[in-house]
Structure 1
Amino acid sequence: MHRTLLAVSLAALIAGTPAFAAETKASPAMVQSAASLRDQALKDETGWQVLESLTTEVGQRLAGSEADARAVEWAKAKFKALGFDKVWTQPVTFPKWERRSEHGEVLGAHSQKLVLTALGGSPGGTVEGDVVRFDSLDALKNAAPGSLAGKIAFVDVIMPRAKDGHGYGIGSRVRTTGASAASKAGAIGYVMRPAGTDWHRNPHTGMTRFENGVKPIPEAALSNNDADQLGRLVKLGPTRIRVALDCGFNGTYTSQNVIGEITGRSKPNEIVALGAHLDSWDLGTGAIDDGTGIAISMAAAKLAGGVQRPQRTIRVIAFANEEQGLWGGRVYAESQKDKIRDSQIVMESDSGPGRVYEFGGRWSKAADPAMAQVADLLKPLGVAYTPGKGEAESEMGLMQDAGSAAGAFAHDASRYFDLHHTPDDTLDKVDPEDLRVDIAAYATLAFIAANVDGSLGSGTLPAPEKPKK
């Protein structure tokens, strides 16, 4: 053997991967079957039926609530009704946060109601003080220690609307880190413009956290309308408000990841995994976040596994308590850490019911031909191919970090953050046609991945690059 080729082969042997991986490509017959499946999905009502059932029979599903337990039972029964041949659960234990009541008002000469909602993780309490407005998170973080003593900090940053949802990065940072910064500066309370893009006078909730050693203070999100109003009042002069929150942590709770499988006929230990989170916030009924993800995953798996029993196992994970910190995802990823090479691909839907417009992800070079075939199948749906772009969402991002190949679908999020974490997160906001297109896209990828000869590269991929802070 030529010395260079010998060196390559030895290096590959040491790394545990083949020097020349065979191309992974679907046969013409498989591509034809996938096209038929795609077209069938565009007429299928399974996804809508699943979504309607979940949001009607269970409704809001705050992690740790009575409805959380009902959602687990619902998911087990739904998997069985859809024909999944194996259904099982994983216990997931986490701190239990409860919301009981919330109230806000402007005091003094301009007294009036403020529409607000407690942020997840906030302690309860009633605070009253003058408002100090900040036009950026950095401005608050630069406030001197003690400078906000007895005050209520108000971060007034508008979250931009975007098709790819990138504005949420801005809004969520204000939500997750602002209260710690306020507390460090001596504030007794914290309010913020919401991480949302609507003007419906609906506040957007969501999780927040306090840094270790920082005193927790009551924290709430205003509606955009009330943030506008509070900003105008502050411009008029000193403005005093009262925020009264009855909420907080109350022990621990054990929920469940609910997992359904369609067992593969020839490679049952190799897994094509779809995921979504079963919990929701408590203001709406969790239709868009993440009922549509549950519907997409269940329906796509049923369709992909229904043409004929797939070579590989198709698995759907309905994750527990994503909203408060990927709790179910961490339990699942830990259970799979020694099985990454058996993970053919992972994918997750947790960015709403907007129509899929891009397909990308992460896989081996040898799998490019198969993924290009998937992309060709998705062209009639109006889905662009962006290989190498996009990450597995939410819980499945943990699996990607561990070395799994991942599929990434970009959903149109132009309107998503009008509804996200608000009372408006209800079934009527979902477009049934968009939902069918989304299911068709996920089902097509799942079908090819479950049946194609050859690996997509899990266990051989370099660690994903993390963005610089």
Structure 2
Amino acid sequence: MLRSFAFVAVAALVMPSFAGSVETAVQLRDKALTDTTAWAIVETLTSEVGPRPIGSAAYNRSRDWAVAKLTAFGFTNVHVETFVKPAWSRGAESAEIVGAHSQKLAVLGLGYSVPTPKAGIEAPVVVFGSYREMLAQPPGSLKGKIVLVNQPMTRTQDVSGYAAAVVARNGDAEAAMRGAVAYLVRSIATGTGRAPHTGATWGPGPHIPCAALGVPDADLVASLARHETVRIRLKLQSSLDQKAVAFDVSGEIKGRERPDEVIVIGGHLDSWDPGTGALDDGAGIAITTAAAKLIGDLPAHPRRTIRVVWWGSEENGGSSEAYAKAHAGEKFVIAGEADLGGDHAYMVAVPQGLPGLDEVMAPLKTIVSRAMPRNGGADIHGLEEAGVPVLVVLNDASRYFDYHHSADDTLAVVDSDGLKQNVAVWAGLVYLIAESDIDFRKVPAAK
């Protein structure tokens, strides 16, 4: 099944003008399905560098690691682009129920949370079963309270379950406007493990200390709160470096005929600190880089340039805007980012409506988006806003959010066969785009 999907994905972009390139694409597919480069990238990234939050020593070490890897793989024009980005750093953290049923809770501060006083905050908890329920409370009604939103996340193959649940992670300002002194959220996760899942919290203030509880701990607090007043003592210490330096690292497979026409693919190098960032986004870096390396190892490069970018500030934002600004005016053909783990790829979306493309994509009608892809990825959002077409390869996310942003995001949960299948899809698609003269900007307007 892996081979058949990769073949169909490759065939999807075959145009009469370069039909002969299919044979090379099939060779790439077959080699990718046995190639271990992607696994080796994730393995060394997680073991030699580890977790990579901006501002940490490991983050800075990842820059040199990235340059060395891309150079060793044969990419040219390998370089680092820097930009200033405030870096939030986690300090000591704890949460516990105090009183008759005292016990410690599994907690992780959310990125960019303000700290508590050193002595912490102790207050009664108000539990809401959904974020919408909390928003329905009038101003001042939660004065002096710690809010817990215990909203479960639905497990889905795509990211719709996450998209629906993650809004609750940004609720500290809304809770503050209702008088709350701290904000807790059930981890945005599909698993039942106790490890809490972190993530950034965004939006305008006012801000109060905010953190995620492990899923069973959030349920524990909610259960007790149904029968009695629950008090929690919360301590969150963090710091913010306003002048931290972030970076993107990139390298190229230079096109043999149209080097100025650039296809951008990649993933993000930074990660949260609890785990080692294996799925998020070591897998994305590994998949796109291994695919480009296979193309670069061919006897002849494709006509267009393939640029692999390892964006350095996705989790806390900044890479998208910095990269788009630094590369304004370049002739980008299409851009694609892998940032959904490494499980089986089940859907490919490329701009539709081009002459001849519908016919050759007919075999994919049950699994490939027939509409113009949107939201190609956080790091290519700036390019997309500037009019660059996007390529989207969707992975099966059914188990991804069991581990996402948690201590369990390690090499142990990466599927090596899934990595290979993804590399096969990316290698075939990117090669045929790079070898073609398709102009994805000329998609007919919707009627």
Give me the TM-score of the superposition, normalised by structure 2. 0.92
Partner of 1:372: 360
User: Are 1:439 and 2:423 an aligned pair?
Assistant: yes
Q: What is the 5 A alignment of 1:269-308?
A: 269-307=260-298, 308=300
Q: Does the CA contact (< 8 Å) of 1:404 and 1:461 recur in 2?
A: no
**Following the alignment from structure 1 to structure 2, what is the Cα–Cα distance between the partners of residues 314 and 27?**
18
Could you tell me whether the CA contact under 8 Å between 2:105 and 2:217 is conserved in 1?
A: yes
1:15-47: CA deviation from partner (whole Å, max 9, x where unpaired): xxxxxxxx9545232011111111111011111
CA change 1:276–1:367 in 2 (3 A) is farther
Residue type of the partner of 1:451?
A: E
For structure 1, the 5+ residue unaligned runs are: 1-22, 465-469
Q: Which moved more, 1:248-257 or 1:271-280?
A: 248-257
> Residue 405 of structure 2: which of 421, 426, 430 is its match?
421
Task: Give the AA of the match of 1:321.
Answer: S
Q: Output the amino acid matched with 1:413.
A: A
- Residue 399 of structure 1: how far off its partner (Å): 1.8
Residue from 304, 307, 315 that aligns with 1:315? 307
Amino acid at match of 2:127: R
Task: Report the secondary structure of 1:183's partner residue.
Answer: helix
Following superposition, the deviation at residue 461 of structure 1 comes to 5.2
Q: 1:406 to 1:244 in 2, by over 3 A?
A: same
Note the C-alpha offset of 1:133.
1.0
Alignment of 1:174-193 (within 5 A): 174-176=168-170, 178-193=171-186
Query: What residue is the counterpart of 2:4 in the other structure?
Result: none
Letter in 1 for 2:338: S
1:135-170 deviation digits (Å, cap 9, x = unpaired): 221221222222111110111100100011211112
Q: Per the alignment, do residues 109 and 146 of structure 1 end up closer, same or farther by CA in structure 2, a change over 3 Å counting?
A: same
- The equivalences for 1:65-214 within 5 A come to 65-125=56-116, 126-176=120-170, 178-211=171-204, 214=205
CA–CA separation in structure 1 for the residues paired with 2:16 and 2:348: 17
Residues 1:42 and 2:30 aligned together? no
Aligned partner of residue 440 in structure 2, secondary structure:
coil
CA contact (8 A) 1:102 1:244 kept: yes
The one of 364, 368, 377 aligned to 1:393: 377
Call closer, same or farther: CA 1:26–1:348 in 2, change over 3 Å.
farther
Residues 323, 382 of structure 2: 8 Å contact kept? no
2:430 is paired with a residue whose SS is helix
Q: What is the CA deviation profile of residues 386-429 of structure 1, one whole-angstrom value per residue up to 9, with x for unaligned ones?
A: 23254312212332232122211110000000000000000011
Structure 2 counterpart of 1:185, one-letter code: R
Equivalent residues of 1:101, 1:246 under 8 A apart: yes
Residue-by-residue CA offset, 1:262-320 (whole Å, 9 max, x unaligned): 11111110001102100000000000000001101110111122222121111011001
Identity within the alignment, %: 38
Query: What CA distance in whole angstroms lies between the structure 1 residues aligned with 2:445 and 2:309?
Result: 23
Give the drift of 1:430: 0.6
| 2:347 aligned residue | 358
Match of 1:18 in 2: none
Runs of 5+ consecutive residues of structure 2 not aligned to the other structure: 1-13
> In 2, are the aligned partners of 1:356 and 1:383 still within 8 Å (CA)?
no
1: CA distance, partners of 2:355 / 2:320: 28
**Aligned equivalent of 1:345, options 334, 337, 340:** 334
Q: 1:70 to 1:367 in 2, by over 3 A?
A: farther
Q: What residue is the counterpart of 1:331 in the other structure? A: 322
Equivalenced residues, count: 428
Runs of 4+ in 1 over 6 A off after TM superposition: none
**Range that drifts further, 105-114 or 89-98:** 89-98
Question: CA 1:146–1:56 in structure 2 vs 1: closer, same or farther (change >3 Å)?
Answer: same
Q: Which amino acid aligns with 1:244?
A: K
2:74, 2:296 within 8 Å by CA — same for their partners in 1?
no
Matched residue, 1:9:
none
For the structure 1 residues 462 and 336, does the alpha-carbon distance in structure 2 shift closer, same or farther, using more than 3 Å as the test? farther
- 1:403–1:462 Cα contact (<8 Å) kept: no
Question: Which is worse superposed, 353-362 or 435-444?
Answer: 353-362
Cα distance change of structure 1 residues 80 and 247 upon mapping to structure 2, 3 Å threshold: same
CA contact (8 A) 1:275 1:297 kept: yes
Root mean square deviation of aligned Cα:
2.0
Q: Is the 8 A contact 1:403 1:461 kept in 2?
A: no
CA-to-aligned-CA distance 1:159-210 (integer Å, 9 cap, x gap): 100011211112210002x111100011100101111011110100000024
Shift of 1:439: 0.6
Query: Structure 1: how far apart are the matches of 2:60 and 2:356?
Result: 40
C-alpha deviation, 1:337, in angstroms:
3.0
Q: Any idea what SS the aligned residue of 1:385 has?
A: coil
Q: Give the 3-state SS of the residue equivalent to 1:34 in structure 2.
A: helix
Q: In 2 relative to 1, CA 78–109 (structure 1 residues): closer, same or farther, beyond 3 Å?
A: same
Task: Tell me, in whole angstroms, the C-alpha distance in 2 between the residues paired with 1:70 and 1:414.
Answer: 32
- C-alpha contact (below 8 Å) 2:83/2:245 kept by paired residues: yes
The 8 Å contact of residues 98 and 249 in structure 1, kept in 2 or not, is answered as yes
Match of 1:244 in 2: 235
CA contact (8 A) 2:349 2:372 kept: yes
Q: How far apart are 1:51 and its partner, in Å?
A: 1.1
CA separation in 2, counterparts of 1:301 and 1:314? 7
What SS is found at the alignment partner of 2:369?
A: strand
In the TM superposition, residue 367 of structure 1 has moved relative to its aligned partner by 6.7
Q: Distance in 1 between matches of 2:96 and 2:160?
A: 32
* One-letter identity of the residue aligned with 1:255: A
**TM (normalized to structure 1)?**
0.87
Q: Secondary structure at the match of 1:387?
A: coil
